[in-house]
Chains A and B, each alone.
Chain A
Amino acid sequence: EADIYQTPRYLVIGTGKKITLECSQTMGHDKMYWYQQDPGMELHLIHYSYGVNSTEKGDLSSESTVSRIRTEHFPLTLESARPSHTSQYLCASSELRADSNTEAFFGQGTRLTVV
């Protein structure tokens, strides 16, 4: 059982609101990721982090921002939500190893709907 948690699981919010999606892991992993997934589609990397104070943008352009102040916490923020942000957001973490053969553990996801 992976020790990575996302809250909330579901969120319906009005256009223009600011939201923060929470992600926490208790495995001491240095690497953390945020993915966006639309129904029936592949996961797209939007943000990642190698450790505290490290954040990078992923392959898919996103208006969201992230922070990594603590190892275990990697929140994602949308300053002004729009209907185009409606999607499932998945957080993941893994060990930082040179050979990259490390398991990536995923949270349960946050299903965001912007109306």
Chain B
Amino acid sequence: KNQVEQSPQSLIILEGKNCTLQCNYTVSPFSNLRWYKQDTGRGPVSLTIMTFSENTKSNGRYTATLDADTKQSSLHITASQLSDSASYICVVSDRGSTLGRLYFGRGTQLTVWP
């Protein structure tokens, strides 16, 4: 069964600190992995997208890693800001069909305190 599991479920950190969010998946055949940021009551916004051959990708203070062998990904946030408070969702796409079906994790709810 294709699944995406994220940990931790929630995380509280102080402003300026770094944190790392984890994503494990069992989606096969694998096409790509995406990290999205979703503010409360809003739609998800893409942070990174990585294919099988990529093992790291950065977008400002966000750095995503991918280990396609162990089927794990992480999202590292450096020098956190209050505006980073949001849910971070790991999404894995398969390549079994033209649709490129997306499998969503439940997200990690990050809260940044001043």
| Chain A residues close to B by CB (< 8 Å) | 2, 6, 31, 40-45, 48, 50, 88, 90, 92, 94, 96, 98-109, 111
CB distance from B41 to the nearest CB of A (A): 6
Mark B92-104 against chain A: 1 for CB-CB distance below 8 A, else 0: 0111001111101
Asked whether B51 is an interface residue with its Cβ less than 8 Å from the other chain, the reply is yes
What total of A-B pairs shows CB separation below 8 Å? 65
Can you give 9 contacting A-B residue pairs, CB < 8 Å? A42-B89, A42-B105, A43-B102, A99-B95, A100-B31, A100-B98, A102-B100, A104-B34, A106-B45
Chain A residue numbers with a CB within 8 Å of B44 are 43, 90, 106
A6 to B42, CA, bound (A): 11
Contact among B31, B42, B46, B105 for A104, CB-based, below 8 A: B46
Contacts A40-B106, A42-B107 given; does A103 touch B43 at CB 8 Å: no
CB pair B31–A101 under 8 Å, yes or no, is yes
CB distance from B32 to the nearest CB of A (A): 5
CB distance from B8 to the nearest CB of A (A): 13
A103 to B59, CA, bound (A): 15
CB distance from B93 to the nearest CB of A (A): 6
Chain A residue numbers with a CB within 8 Å of B4 are 42
Majority secondary structure, B binding face: strand
Contact among B42, B46, B102, B105 for A45, CB-based, below 8 A: B102
A101 to B34, CA, bound (A): 10
A40 to B89, CA, bound (A): 11
A44 to B91, CA, bound (A): 12
Task: Using CB atoms, name the residue of chain B closest to A41.
Answer: B106
Contact among A42, A103, A108 for B42, CB-based, below 8 A: A108
Contact among B32, B41, B101 for A101, CB-based, below 8 A: B32
Chain B residue numbers with a CB within 8 Å of A90 are 43-44
CB pair B100–A108 under 8 Å, yes or no, is no
CB pair A101–B49 under 8 Å, yes or no, is yes
Chain B residue numbers with a CB within 8 Å of A43 are 44, 89, 102, 104
Chain B residue numbers with a CB within 8 Å of A50 are 98-99
A48 to B100, CA, bound (A): 12
